[in-house]
């Protein structure tokens, strides 16, 4: 992804960006354990030796805000304002097949092997639409109008055949703003979190 230019203060486009900002959903701990188990099983089944995504970095990207030099305070405030307007209720998410994305990672040069879903990701698509619309209304540029909800498992030199897997599911009760430290071996930083509305009955 190219460096994103913005008219907001705190960003100098002549310097290399240090931070990528994105809204995301993080899997619950039991789901993280299930995803790690699934990744190990795929590696054994297909003799995969690529780099697996660390547990603390597993996430579902909702909206990428761009790459910046540091953290522009006005941009963060505007992003938080958009997030606070979301009134969606909590929902169940379900991923049940693995596929290979054909766009290679610019970092590893390998193919992302990802966990996806069908009807079980509708809530994520709705959340993306709500966020992206509000961000564009606030003047954010380059916000994607579509997404393919997924969790990246690992990166491989060669594509892996698509296949159904035992479902990984959990209740999404919040979304977060993540800071990725570019070219640094550091976990993502969570800059903010926004709870979804509670429902009056258990989600099955």
Model pLDDT for residues 88-135, shown as the tens digit of each residue: 999 999 999 999 998 877 777 899 999 999 999 999 999 999 999 999
Give pLDDT, residue 164: 97
The Cα–Cα gap between 159 and 48 comes to 10
Phi, psi at residue 43, to the nearest 5°?
-60, -40
Among the listed residues 186, 176, 112, the one whose alpha carbon sits nearest the alpha carbon of residue 150: 112
Set out the domains of the chain in order of their start, with CATH numbers.
19-195 (3.90.1140.10)
Give pLDDT, residue 17: 86
Query: For 21-49, what is each residue's pLDDT tens digit?
Result: 999 999 999 999 999 999 999 999 999 99
Query: For 117-130, what is each residue's pLDDT tens digit?
Result: 999 999 999 999 99
- Spatial contact of 156 and 113, defined as CB atoms under 8 Å apart: yes
């Amino acid at each position: 992804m190219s460096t994103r230019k913005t008219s907001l203060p705190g960003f100098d486009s002549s310097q290399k960006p240090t931070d990528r900002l994105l809204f995301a959903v993080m899997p619950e701990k039991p789901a993280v354990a299930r995803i790690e188990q699934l990744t190990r099983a795929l590696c054994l089944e297909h003799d995969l030796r690529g780099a697996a995504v660390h547990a603390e970095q597993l996430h579902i990207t909702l909206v990428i805000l761009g790459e910046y030099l540091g953290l522009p305070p006005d941009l963060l405030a505007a992003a938080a304002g958009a997030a606070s307007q979301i009134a969606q209720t909590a929902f169940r998410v379900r991923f049940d097949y693995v596929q290979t994305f054909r766009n290679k990672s610019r970092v590893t040069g390998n193919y992302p092997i990802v966990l996806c879903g069908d009807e079980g990701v509708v809530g994520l698509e709705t959340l993306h639409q709500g966020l992206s619309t509000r961000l564009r209304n606030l003047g954010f540029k380059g916000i994607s109008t579509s997404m393919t909800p997924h969790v990246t498992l690992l990166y491989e030199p060669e594509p892996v055949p698509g296949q159904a897997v035992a479902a990984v599911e959990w209740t999404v009760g919040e979304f977060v703003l993540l800071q990725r430290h570019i070219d640094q071996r550091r976990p993502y930083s969570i800059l903010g979190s926004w709870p979804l509305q509670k429902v009056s009955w258990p989600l099955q």
